[in-house]
Structure 1
Amino acid sequence: MMKKRLKKLGPAVAIGIGAGIAAAVLCSVATRETIPAEILANLSPLPIMIAMLGYGTIAGATAVVSATFTVSILFYAHEKFGNLDSAALAGLTFLFFLALPAFWLSLLAVLSRVKGSPNWVVTTRVGSFFAREYCPLERVLSYATSLCATIGVALAIYVSSEYGGFDIAVERLTADIAPVVDQLIGSRMQLPKGVDAKSLAHATVLAAAPMVAGCSLIMMILNLWLAGRVAQLSGQLPRPWPDIAWELRLPRIYLLVFGLAAAIGPYLGGLPGLIIVIVATTLGVAYALLGLAVAHYLTRGSSFRIPVLAAIYVGLAIPVTWLVFLLALVVVGILDTAFSLRDRKKKATEPNP
């Protein structure tokens, strides 16, 4: 019996170990501090998600454990971090900030149940042939938003505690990066009146944690999409591909949370104010992703679909215009949540009975 069980689980465990090692190697590349290295490091959740989506819970869980230990070993062997404490901290950071969120989101993506049943289970390739109800993408995006906001808050609290307080941390970090900002500005760039290198450095320090939270959300959702496509192309995805443009949503209660956070956070100050700003920023990015889905859905069947979508993606990629396009998508996402723009289009295009 034990031999049969091991024989059955062996391939999934082997795949999980390999995926974990791949994830750890991608993460460790970040120590090279180059742009290509940072791009590869942002793909570190991808192998874990592929293992979970394509090969099941055992493979996904094994990938998490394998990746955590491998990250610790790689950081211990690195000349910059060659001590046990740094290695353990690196492993735990990877576990809680990347590996577990990647595992949880990909697990949600393959949960399903028989229609009418209250119990969610991980979908198998055999089960996918029967009529099933799959975990809503609304829940996946909601959990992803909550997890990434928590990551940003944890980062802010950790840095504050390391420096002995929020104000001290901001002051010291501002002093550390002010010379770098001054060097980047140079003598040729003219700043607005009342703005100098120190004020820019101060704003950069305050924006760091919210940016980490928002970028983490984009990274997780992008990796989940890529992992799903890889699993689908390899024939291992145990569920039909969802209609993302239609199904991606956020609960309406999040509108109230976002509005309150955006209104209160900038004026509260201190660590509590920063935490609220982190929540508002993460929700703003979530609404931007929602706005992108709305743009895909509303332009279906129109002659200007490709130019509009191309303009959006190009605008998001250009440093001068990305913020304008991002804010526009946030507005679209909020309007859809409040007024159900996609539902209205669907009703308008449905044939009358």
Structure 2
Amino acid sequence: MSFKTNVLYCLKYVGFFKLSKLLTKDRLRILCYHGVSIDDEHLFNPLLFMREQTFNSRIEYLKKEKCNVISLSDACNHIENKEITSNSVVITFDDGWYHTFSKSIPVVQKYSFPATIYITSYYSLKKVSVLNVVVRYLTWKANKNNFNPKVCFCNNGDNVSVKDENGRLCQDNVLNYIESLQTLPERTAAVMNYAEYLGFDGKGILEKKVFKLMDDEDIRQASMACVDIQLHTYRHRFPADDLSELFEEVTNNRKHLEPLVNKRLVHLCYPSGEYSLNTLEELTRLDIKSAVTCEPGLASSKTNLLAIPRFLDGENISQIEFEAELSGLLEILRNIRSTIKYISRSFGFGS
């Protein structure tokens, strides 16, 4: 066990979790999840892919603690009306991974908990694996196997250097090269060639459901099962410096999803949690009621609905850390740390 884990267990034992829960009872906890690991994906990216048993334990804990799991829409209304009910939690999923639909949602619905899935459109419509994630996974897997990049990666006569300054396999040039290709079939073929260059079954990996998003039929079925489908931009981009492109990202995402769920979509998840304060007015014009970030924290009646914090849960988060976050203890510690930094700056300490 790490030092942090031991400290958290001690604090829980002496009652700090219960005290923190009482002190933060008027705060809203919003949980953020992504995909489900089927093989070794949680080792590759523990924030993007979580093991089924880990996710199950989280949801079981919410039930055990009698958390008041509410819908995203209700949560936004509670913030707006300044009447957050005690012990309230919201469950959200980003991107719309296929196994979110096939494996995570049944667990949530087992306990009759509402949930929101923010879906990005491009790869959902194309029904192919998310290529940049596949490239990163392949590179991680090859490095784990001590792959030695003696020669360049070659694709249709193009030579792409894949060595970093230490002679290790590096994905950056490959990602940039694939992004430069004009069509999706070209990009898909390049990823398949990259997999085979590394000694893997490119076709087999690209066909794995774990790297694919929900398709239109999955989205319809989820919506019919009372899962809240919401916006995550068309290409998983948030061009804060180009409002016309931002308009297209949100509008095209809506054009794809709204006919499938038969309702107006007004809640947005910022891609990778990245946003800019200068775009909030534009989002209001786009009829966006709320937008969630990946910034840690608990929401309150003072929270800006277009900058709502969430707890990004993952395979790298231990159960005791999860419990500490839900109790409000970690939020209290974050606030204490921020206050100390503010006082230090105010008095010129540490400058």
Report the TM range for the smaller structure's normalisation: under 0.3
Higher strand share: 2
Structure number with greater CO (CA < 8 Å, separation at least 6) is 2
Higher helix share: 1
